[in-house]
Structures are given as structure tokens and as C-alpha cells.
Amino acid sequence: MTNKEAFIEAKRFIAGGVNSPVRAFGSVGGEPIIIDHGKGAYIYDIEGKKYLDFIQSWGPLIFGHCDADIEKAVIEAVKKGLSFGAPTLVETTLAKILCEKFENLDKIRFVSSGTEATMSAIRVARGYSKKDGLIKFEGCYHGHSDALLIKAGSGATTYGNASSGGVPQDVVRNTYLAVYNDAASVEAIFESNPGKIGAVIIEPIAGNMGLVPADKEFLQSLRALCDKFGAVLILDEVMSGFRASEFGSLPYHGVLADLVTFGKVIGGGMNAAAFGGKREIMDCLSPDGAVYQAGTLSGNPIAMSAGIAALSKINASKDLYAKLENLARRLMQGFKAAANEAGVALQTNVRGSMFGYFFTPHAVKNYDDALKSDTKLFAKFHAAMLKRGVYLAPSQFETGFVCEPMSEADIDFAVNAAREAFKEIKRNG
């Protein structure tokens, strides 16, 4: 069966043929490749073609596909049972690893997805602050819960408008939109809505408008504004946690949030996420407090075991992030040089093992900047790279990832492919 045939069949039985929209290749054209298996830095499709994988399951696989230690931990856990819906020692072990790693984590709670983590963090923040208003930033993605699926309205102090069908306006009326990397827009919302804002949530390293890091001074201003107006500051590190560094985004800004969300890497490739923070906030959760949150598979032993294996490997490594950042920088410097040779404007960013690039002549600091990128050129580049065996995120507005099994030779292979891709694009117009 070919990739095209498999996708046609999938669309008969799965909405859109995929279980997460970006996988459908809608923004880059063509059909997605259908994955058969992965090993290390590479994936293989059902046609037997091999690709250097810069998606790595959208971030979780910092040690690549089929890591032997994580695989062993999962297999041993499976032998004891898939799920119990009851406490196990492994969930406490993983919780302890996380809480001892971060000074602002007194307690955490596990869930099964990043969407659940951010949704639950916002709920407990509102329960603690006793205020309904929430500030989020245009271009930041915090999962697909209703209150967060909004875009900017007529100004920073207006209510957001639902940007997904099926989301009632009443659900988003307490969500306010601010401009990323613009502290004045946040302060204006606070001042225009006295006593209403109970929480602020942000990706300190935005990964869903492409890779756009928040400025250090901006995040420090957010901390000061939340303290001044009595709001809970939530840093969404579902993507950047254990990806930007072993301490997530913290070394880049030094801001301690009241609540933090994690996902992806902490599950080692399995479905695990978490939210946590100050004791007085987390104690608002049931059964200790009045804020309800639950999940049948939360803290399941398979995901916890994979997470323990992944974080244990991270903690045992002395130079993991230096190696990964060197690879990511080598890749982006190579892409930039190849683009320059072809006369193509390209902006690049790197944060640890995360990288991003935009087809625009201007620096990207927020969502509006990102939207000015040449998405048609991106689609041509993506197709040309896929043809050459390099699997990149199929959207201009996503982040890429390197993994530990990658070598400089792998990176050089991708850079050479980029050079050929740009030449092809220039030749074909």
C-alpha cells in the first residue's frame, strides 16, 4: 500500500484522515507519509522510505525513537499491568523527581495531555484567586479547551472571539488577549478590568507560532504585574520543559511562576503531562480543596515508568543539552547560509534542542510578525526537503526538535538537502 492509498483509506474512517489536524499536511499540500516505525533519529514510512526526523513526535522523544532504556522501562511496567486507577509508587517517584528539580514546585498532579494540564492549571488558578478573568497571548497555544481557542478582537482590552466552531461566545468572554512580548498590552488589560483578572498564562518559549522566545524583560514584567494585581502566573512548559534545557525556559529568564505545566518529555513518548506549583495553590485541588479535577488514566504506571526513565537519563547526563544545542545551531546556521546563497530571506531561532525558522526578512517577536512569513515558499521548501529524506514539521507555525541520537553528519545531510532544495525552488520559480 502506498502513502496516498493509506491516507485515502484513513479518510474513510477517521475525521480528516488524521487524529490531529496538522498531520494532514493541509498547509504544505500533498498527502502525509504514513509511518511504519522509527529508530533513533530516523522514521520509516509504509513504502520503506527513510527520513531524518526533526519532529520527534512533536518534542517528547529527546532520546529518539525506540530508546533502549525507555523501551525496557515500559516493557517491565506492562508486565505488571497497564492501568489500575489507583495509586502506585511510580507516580510518586516521578513527582518527586520533578518537585526536587524545580524550586517553585511544591506539589504537582499528573494528567494525560498538555491540554488537560493547562486547562486544570487555569481552573485551580481561578479557584485560588477567586477571579474569573484570564489573560493569554495571541499565538500561544495551550491545548484545545474551549476557553483558550480564541483570537484577538478589536483590541487588547476586548474579549476574544472564538476561533473554532463549537465554542460558545459565553465560554471565552472571560479570556482576554494580549500581545506577546508587549508588557504594555498586559498592563492595559489589568487596569481596564480592575479586580477581574485571576490568571495569566503564557508559553515562555512559544512553539506554536513557530519558535518565538519571550524576552527576559517581558517575562519579568509579567511577574511584577501579576504580583501587583493579585493574579496567578502560569508558565506553560509543555513544549519547552526539558527541551530548552534541563530546567526548561528558566535559565533564559529567571522568572519563577506560581504554576507550571509540563508534558511531552516527562512522559518519554507516552501520554503524560502535569501541572504544579506553590503548595497553597495546589492544596485548592480536591480532595483537599474545592477545585475538582480527575482522570482515569492520570498517572498510569506505563507513562510514569517511561517518564522516570527519560528524566533519569537527563539527570545522569552532563553534556546532553550542550550537544543538542550545538546540533540545533549547526542546523539553523546551515539553513540560513543555504537560504542566503539562494537569495531567500530566512529568520532562525534556537533554544536548546528546539529550533524554528521563518521565511521573512523581518525579526519575529510576536504572532503578527510570524503571520508575515511566506507560507507558500515554506510549502515548497517542505516538499523539497521531504523528497530528499528530511522530515520537517508540516507548518510554518510549528517548532522543530533535534534528538540525542543525531550526529553532526545527520545535520550536515539536512543542510545539504536544504541547499539543494533552495536551488530547486529558485530554478523552478
Spatial separation of the C-alpha atoms in residues 421 and 401, rounded to whole Å: 20
Burial readout 291-318 (b: 16 or more C-beta within 10 A, e: otherwise): bebeeebbbbbbbbbbbbbbbbbbeeee
* Parallel/antiparallel/unpaired status of strands 400-401 and 354-358: antiparallel
DSSP-derived pairing of the beta strands 259-262 and 232-237: parallel
Question: 141 an active-site residue?
Answer: yes
In DSSP notation, 263-284 reads -GGGGBTBS-EEEEE-HHHHTT
Contact 63, 403 (CB under 8 A): yes
How far apart are alpha carbons 159 and 173 in whole angstroms?
6
Q: What is the DSSP string of 338-368?
A: HHHHTT---EEEEETTEEEEESSSS---SHH
- Is-contact 222 256, C-beta < 8 A? no
Q: Residue 175, Cα to own-chain centre: how many angstroms? A: 21
236 is catalytic: yes
Q: Which residues contact 184 (CB under 8 A, 6 or more apart)?
A: none
Select which of 236, 258, 369, 410 is catalytic.
236
**Annotated catalytic residue, options 264, 321, 357, 367:** 264
How far apart CA 256 and CA 327 sit, in angstroms, is: 29
CA terminus-to-terminus distance, the chain: 33
Catalytic status, residue 170: no
Residues 108, 198: Cα–Cα separation, whole Å: 20
The phi, psi pair for 311, rounded to 5°, reads: -70, -30
Residue from 42, 141, 176, 367 carrying the catalytic annotation: 141
| 244 grid coordinates | 530548552
14 by Cβ neighbours in 10 Å (0-12 / 13-18 / 19+) ranks as exposed
Query: SS3 for 128?
Result: helix
Task: Return the active site residues.
Answer: 141, 236, 264
